[in-house]
Amino acid sequence: MDKVTLVKTRLQAGIWEGELRVPDAIERLPEIEVSYLDQPLPGHTLSEDPDRAGVWFFRFAVPSEVISDGVQTFVFTDRDSGQVLGSFALIAGDGLADDIRAEMDLLRQELDMLKRAFRRHCLEVGAN
């Protein structure tokens, strides 16, 4: 594979982390640009993995000022070639209210509440 790839490893505490894999056949390290609403964003770092050749750790701190209701999409591109290396979306607030995943989470919470109430009831009936 003679293609640069950016693979997500995790999103934690507002920091998107991934591995940039650069094959030996590629002579230059891509300059990654992170954009949101077609505007470049600062706040990313790239550091070489000392244990694996051709692998770089990429970290992007999601700016809190761009997080709001709805869907926010961030795109990672090679600044020179324009090649899209990856992207991710954040969904928050009211835009999430009708999402099936939010409905499932709400159902899970309600089911847990019902299970706790049922267990309490069984303990009370068993004690009498």
Confidence of residue 1 (pLDDT cuts 50, 70, 90): low
Residues 56-70, mean pLDDT to the nearest whole number: 93
**CB count, 10 Å around CB of 96?**
16
Q: Of the given ranges (3-7, 17-21, 122-126), which has the lowest mean pLDDT?
A: 122-126
What confidence score (pLDDT) does residue 82 get?
86
Residues 43-65, mean pLDDT to the nearest whole number: 94
Alpha helices (H) along 30-99: none
38: left (phi over 0), alpha (psi -120 to 50) or beta: left
91's tokens: 């969904």
Q: d(Cα 9, Cα 31) in Å, to the nearest integer?
A: 19
Question: HSE of 20 in the Cβ direction (CA atoms, 13 Å)?
Answer: 24
Confidence of residue 16 (pLDDT cuts 50, 70, 90): very high
What confidence score (pLDDT) does residue 97 get?
63
